[in-house]
Amino acid sequence: MRSLISKFSFAVMLLVSAQIALAADNGLLWKLEAPSGKVSYLLGTMHTDDQRVTEFSPKILEAFNQSEAFMMETLPPRDPSIFMMKQGTVSEMMTEKEFDQVRELADFHSMHIEAAMLMKPWLLAVIFDLPKPKALYSMDELLMAKAEEQDKKIIGLEKMRDHFSVLDSVSMEDQMIMLRAVLKRSQKDKERDYEKLLKTYQSGDLKKIIDLDDKITGGMLPKAVWENMRVKLIDERNAGMAEGLVSVAKDQAVFAAVGASHLAGDGGILGRLRNAGFAVTSVKLK
């Protein structure tokens, strides 16, 4: 009986410890210590070129400089055709009013309307829901450039075609639902939500980042469409990226950069790293 009680108590302790770890998952930079003793770092990023986040703190740069290799979600595609419709144009699926809206947004984002019409609807939706670009490079791209300067090995956590095929697997009908949802939003709405996301990101509260992302994007789309997309964009990709990070970080000191919404929560990368035997610790940036 005493042995059974001891085992039960130990199981409860493990469960409580896991819950405490998940509750404490606040922070953007994480130290990862592999069972082999190799130390790596994981940075949760926001895919933006905003200088409020692209001016990296000394702690981030210190961790980056200590790494042997740099890992990011995927390497930039060399073939732009991966973003283009295989046949036909987006205009064939639009009303005249929607076409005028797309023309206006294409101009706002410094795109030729002819090029925009050849792009996949999901890509137009992503681009048109962003603020006007302020600089040339996002956080992830700047880190990749630094890795190139330091002659580090650069590795994609996902294969390029697998990465971009995630949204390609969404039906054309649902892609158009995404685009139409963005066309209904005013620039004021987009800028308001962007500022909310940016401030929440800067807070390092990973649960709030996930919840706000879910609220904004999920609020734009029909529930069934968003649930399908969330599984494909977040849940399934978390598993693959965590597996890719573990396979390299077990033997090499790496600095990895992935969107902050992939880190915490059920099935998040941090939890998956812990399950793989890594010691995971938040690094204070100030």
pLDDT tens by residue, 87-145: 999 999 999 999 999 999 999 999 999 999 999 999 999 999 988 877 778 999 999 99
Neighbours of 212 (CB within 10 A): 18
Residue 178 has φ and ψ, to the nearest 5°, of -60, -50
Percent of the residues in the chain that have a pLDDT greater than 90, as a whole number: 70
Residue 279 domain boundaries:
28-283
Strands of the 254-259 sheet, one edge to the other: 153-156, 69-72, 254-259, 39-45, 29-33, 279-283
Does residue 116 fall inside a structural domain? Answer: yes
Does residue 92 fall inside a structural domain? Answer: yes
Question: Quick check: 13 pLDDT over 50?
Answer: no
Distance, CA of 47 to CA of 258 (rounded, Å): 9
Does residue 167 fall inside a structural domain? Answer: yes
Structure pTM?
0.86
Query: Region 25-30: what's the mean pLDDT?
Result: 94
Q: How many domains does the chain fold into?
A: 1
Does residue 15 fall inside a structural domain? Answer: no
Amino acid at 253: A
Does residue 91 fall inside a structural domain? Answer: yes
Judged by DSSP in three states, 246 sits in helix
Q: What is the pLDDT of residue 9?
A: 35
Neighbours of 191 (CB within 10 A): 12
Predicted confidence band of residue 42 (pLDDT cuts 50, 70, 90): very high
Does residue 23 fall inside a structural domain? Answer: no
Does residue 73 fall inside a structural domain? Answer: yes
Distance, CA of 268 to CA of 120 (rounded, Å): 28
Q: What is the pLDDT of residue 24?
A: 55
Does residue 10 fall inside a structural domain? Answer: no
Q: pLDDT (tens digit, 9 = 90+) per residue, 169-210?
A: 888 999 999 999 999 999 999 999 999 999 999 999 999 999
